[in-house]
Amino acid sequence: MRMDLRRYTRCASALLAALACVAGAAAPASAQSDAASDESARPYSSVVVQNRLFDPTHELSIAVGSLPLDAFTKGVTLSGSYTLHFSSFFAWEVGQFVYSFQYDTALRDELDATLGLQPLPFELMDFYVSTNAVFKPLYWKGAWMNSALAHGELLLNAGFAYGWFTRSQRPGLDLGAAVRLFATENLSIRLNTRYLLFVGGESLETIDVKDELWISLGTSLSF
């Protein structure tokens, strides 16, 4: 009788241990099932991206800028452009016109005064026109001094240009980026940076490359 009691006690202990293992394995599975059912019941993702508040179709821009690469002669520029926006991400800068007002730097006078030399007469930019494809990968919204909301975007452009220099005319490439800050729905401020590469020459043996860096700050009217 004592042996039977010990056998029953061992069987009961083993049965309780097995039930505990089954319960422990079933609890995570049940939790995962509940979590999966909760996720499937959600009507939308937990990550929410707001639509753009400012999304223009037509844009007219004017800007004041600089051509700073030449050490002896700089250029102050006035420019205007028209851009057609197809969507929130793509646009076409149909045309841009940039005119440069040239002025000599103090380095030219110092070279003449100290060494009696004049720099070589490099070609200078008079004006150019360009057309570009525009990609708008980033749009943001932030708080200004905890008192107002500010909206802005990053623009990347690539296209073709044609430049008129002091002694020649050249086709070229136009690559750049811009940062826009919206003041109102129709008015914004833009900081533009463009790298321009113009190619001249009558043959491969006489090919001549002229590059320019254009930096400008302007305003845009959108509608």
Give pLDDT, residue 50.
67
Residue-wise pLDDT tens digits, 130-161 = 999 999 999 988 888 888 888 999 999 999 99
* pLDDT above 70 (res 60): yes
Residue-wise pLDDT tens digits, 170-195 = 999 999 999 999 999 899 999 999 99
Whole-Å CA distances, 186 to 147, 182, 209? 21, 8, 39
Of 187, 191, 208, 190, which is closest to residue 199 (Cα–Cα)? 208
The lowest-confidence range among 36-45, 142-151, 211-220 is 36-45
Give pLDDT, residue 95.
98
* pLDDT above 50 (res 30): no
Residue-wise pLDDT tens digits, 64-95 = 999 999 888 999 999 999 999 999 999 999 99
Q: 77 CB contacts (<8 Å, ≥6 apart)? A: 63, 64, 65, 66, 67, 98, 99, 100, 101, 214, 216
What is the mean predicted confidence (pLDDT) over 35-59?
65
d(CA 7, CA 10): 5
Q: Where in the chain are the domains? A: 1-43, 58-222
Amino acid at 221: L
Q: Kindly report the CATH number that applies to the domain delimited by 58-222.
A: 2.40.160.20
Give pLDDT, residue 120.
62
Are 127 and 99 in contact by the 8 Å Cβ rule? The answer is yes
